[in-house]
A and B are shown apart, each in its own frame.
Chain A
Amino acid sequence: MAQIEQSSGGKKKKGAQKKMSIHVDFTPMVDMNMLLITFFMLCTTMIKSQTLSIALPTNEKLDQTELQKAKESEAITLILDTDYDDNGNVKGNTVYYYTGKPVLETQGEQVVSSNLEATEFIGNDGVTQQGIRKILHDRNRGVLADVEKKKQEWRDKKITEQQFQEAAKKIRNSDEYDRPVVIIKPLPNASWESVISALDEMQINQISRYQLGNLTEVDEAMVGDYKAKHPKN
C-alpha cells in the first residue's frame, strides 16, 4: 500500500525535477506488531516463582531421641488448622501453640486444663509484631537484635552484603543465645498456605531450628478440647 504521489501542481516548469513524496503506509506493520505484543503478553510470565527450602527430619528412629533431647524450655509447638467455607475455599488459618511439653489434665473423659493457646498469622502493625510473629519474635529476641545491629552496619555501608549474610548466619546458629526450637505440626486439613506461612515466620524471625512434625494423640485431644471450649460463632 505504499503510495507514491506525484505533486500535481498546475505550473510545471520544464526541466525541473519531478517532486515525489513517498508515503509508506505503516498501518499493517503496526497491526502485526500489536498482535505479536499481545501474544507475548499473554504467553509469558514476568515474575518468576520464588522457592522456599525445607529440610524434613529423617524417618529413622535415631532422630526421635534427638528430638526429645531438645530442651523443653526451648521448644515451641505450632499446630496449624484451617477453616473452609461451603465452597471449599480457605476462610482463615488458625495457629494453636504451646511451649515446652504439652500439658493436658484430664478427669476421666473431661479435659480440665491444657497449655494450648490459639492465635493467627497476621502481619506487622507498623513496627509492632502481631499474632504468632510476636510470640516467636519475643522468644528469639537475642538473635533478632544482633542481626538487626549487623543490618544497620550494612545499611551504613560499614560492611558488605556478603559480610552481613555471613554474620547473620553465624548469629542464627550460635549457641550463645536463648534460641527456640519450633516444631510445626499441621492438622490434616490445614491448608498448604498455612504451612508456608509458618515456614515463612521462621525466616522472618531468623529461627534456625525448626521442623515439620507429626501430630500426636495428645495434640489432637488438646485441639479438640480447645475447639469445644471456644466455639466459633
Chain B
Amino acid sequence: MGKVKIKRKSTLIDMTAMSDVTVLLLTFFMLTSTFLQKEPVTVITPSSVSEIKVPTANVAQVLVSPQGQVFMSLLGDADPDNAENWGSEALRKEVLKTAAADYEAKTGKKTGITPMDIEKFAKNASFGVPLEKMHEFLMLETSKQDEFLSQTLDKPVMMGNLKPKDIGIPFKEITYTDADGNKLTTNEFQIWMRAIYNSSNTNIHDAIQKGEGIAVKSDRGTKFETIHQVLDNLQTIKMNKFSVMTALKTEAD
C-alpha cells in the first residue's frame, strides 16, 4: 500500500479584490444616499404620477398619524452661508420662541420654556407635544422621548404629567381678544404655522407662498376626516397652496 501524501497547501485567500469591491459599494451607498429621518410614526404615503421631488430645504412637514396626531418637522435653508441665521437649527429656535411667546400672549398661561429647552428643541428634527408640556417633554432623555412618542394605546407610558393624549400638536380652540377688542379663536397648530411663516428666514416664507413650503404627509389608509382638520386649519390661515407627500407610482398600481 502506497502512502497517500497529503499536500500541504496554504488556505490563505487573497482578499484584496473582495476588499476593492466592498469599498466601491460603500462609496456608492455613501454618495447616493440620504438618511432616513427619525419620525414618530411610520406611514406609507399613497402613490401618484407626480414627479416633483420633495424639497430638502425650507420646508415644514406636517405628519398626520392614522390616529390623527399631528407632528411637524422643520428644515431651514441648506445654504451654508445662511446657516447661522436661516439654517434648520436657527430656524427651529426662532420658531419655538415666537410660538411660545404668541401662545403665552393669547392664553395668559406660562409655558416655562427655558433657553436650554430651546437648544434641545433645535436638535430634534420633529416635534409634536402641546406647548404647555414642551418643557417637561424636553427635560426627558432622548430615549425616553422616543418611548413616549411611540407608545401604543394598549401599552400606555406614563411619565409625570405627560399623558398619552399629549402626543401631537393639539387643535383645541384658544379664544383671545385682539387689540381692537374683537373675539377671535385660534389653536396651537395655527400658532406654529404662523410662527414658521413669519420667521426671519424669508426663503421659507416665499416657499410657503409658492406652495412648496408645506408638505402634508399621511398614510394611504388614513381617513379623510382625520386629515381634514389639518387642511381646514391651513385654509383658515390662508395657506391654501401646499403639497402632499406621495411615492412614485409603480406599474403595479
Contacts and interface: CB of A to CB of B under 8 A. Distances in A.
Contacts of B49: 200, 203-204
A16 interface: no
Interface stretch (A27-35, A96-104, A136-144, A218-226): A27-35
Nearest to B242: A54
B205 to A, nearest CB: 17
Given A26-B19, A34-B22, A199-B48, A89 B221 contact: yes
Interface stretch (B33-41, B120-128, B172-180): B33-41
A44 B220 CA distance: 22
Contacts of A37: 22, 25-26, 29
A105 B54 CA distance: 47
Interface string B70-83: 00000000000000
Contacts of B222: 191-192
Give the interface size class of chain B: 35 or more
Interface string B206-228: 00000110010111111111011
A162 interface: no
Contact of B220 (A23, A50, A191, A204): A191
Q: Which of A57, A196, A203 has the most CB of B within 10 A?
A: A196
Contacts of A191: 220-224
Nearest to A88: B221
B221 A51 contact: no
A129 B33 CA distance: 37
Given A48-B34, A50-B246, A53-B211, A90 B26 contact: no
Nearest to A33: B22
Contacts of A59: 235-236
Contact of B241 (A54, A194, A204): A54
B194 to A, nearest CB: 16
30 contacts: A26-B14, A30-B22, A33-B25, A33-B26, A40-B29, A41-B29, A43-B33, A43-B36, A45-B34, A45-B35, A46-B33, A49-B45, A50-B48, A51-B246, A52-B52, A52-B246, A53-B243, A54-B244, A186-B224, A186-B228, A188-B225, A188-B228, A189-B223, A191-B223, A191-B224, A192-B218, A192-B227, A193-B46, A196-B46, A196-B48
A40 B34 contact: no
Give the interface centre of B220, B223, B240 by most chain A CB atoms within 10 Å.
B223
Given A36-B26, A51-B52, A189 B224 contact: yes
Given A52-B48, A55-B241, A88-B221, A40 B30 contact: yes
A227 to B, nearest CB: 17
B-side binding surface: helix, strand, loop or mixed? mixed
Contacts of A183: none
A47 B221 contact: no
Top 3 nearest A-B pairs (CB, nearest first) are: A26-B15, A44-B33, A33-B22
Contacts of A195: 224, 227
A197 interface: yes
Interface residues of A, number: 54
B3 interface: no
Nearest to B13: A27
Contacts of A49: 45, 53-54, 217, 245-247
A46 B25 CA distance: 14
Contacts of A187: 224
B54 A50 contact: yes
A56 interface: yes
A45 B56 CA distance: 13
A198 B64 CA distance: 20
Nearest to B245: A49
Given A192-B221, A195-B224, A53 B242 contact: yes
Nearest to A194: B224
A212 interface: yes
A80 interface: yes
B25 to A, nearest CB: 5
A88 B219 CA distance: 13
Contacts of A90: 220-221
Contact of A29 (B19, B32, B36, B227): B19
A131 interface: no
B231 to A, nearest CB: 6
Contacts of A52: 48, 50, 52, 243-244, 246
